[in-house]
Amino acid sequence: MNLITRRGQHDPLTMFEDFFNDMFTRPQYSMTGLPLASRARMDLVEKADTFEVEVDLPGVNKDDIQVDIQGNRVSISAQSKSEKEQKEGDRVLYSERYAASYARSFDLPQDVDDEKSEATFENGVLKLTLPKRAASANKRLEIH
């Protein structure tokens, strides 16, 4: 019994499996030919004085993460690449490379104090502590 199925054989079951395997494992591309960014998984908790955010960024290096804060809008982007070193004399029979891009933007119910915000990255999880900006008291303008 041959357990190896080769592409090109006209077995309906194999063609069906190949279609779905390719659809779920192959990266999706934009009209420009660049891979689309995946939506990073996130948890957001509001506490009395802060917003606590945890974002899953598997396979990403700390230096490849960017967090931007503008008022109450937070944008997170990251890129991940896998590269393997080949020793001289090794004969590569099969090799796959992996590249992923993650992006997430969201609006918070209140502005964030970007100067006091903190970020840590450990074991593929980005943790943000975003202090709420003190609400300014309403000011009534005097009309002259």
- The arithmetic mean of pLDDT across residues 99-109, rounded, is 89
Residues 69 and 117 sit within 8 Å (Cβ to Cβ): yes
Cite the beta strand spans of the chain per DSSP E. 38-39, 42-46, 50-56, 65-70, 73-82, 98-107, 118-122, 125-131
pLDDT tens-digit profile of 21-57?
Answer: 444 444 454 444 545 567 778 999 999 999 999 999 9
Q: Where are the domains of the chain?
A: 37-82+98-131
pTM of the model: 0.63
Residue 110, CA distances (Å) to 22, 44, 46, 76, 106 in order:
42, 13, 10, 18, 12
Mean pLDDT (the chain) is: 76
Query: The domain 37-82+98-131: what is its CATH number?
Result: 2.60.40.790
CA within 13 Å, CB half, 30: 7
89 is written with which tokens?
A: 């004399």
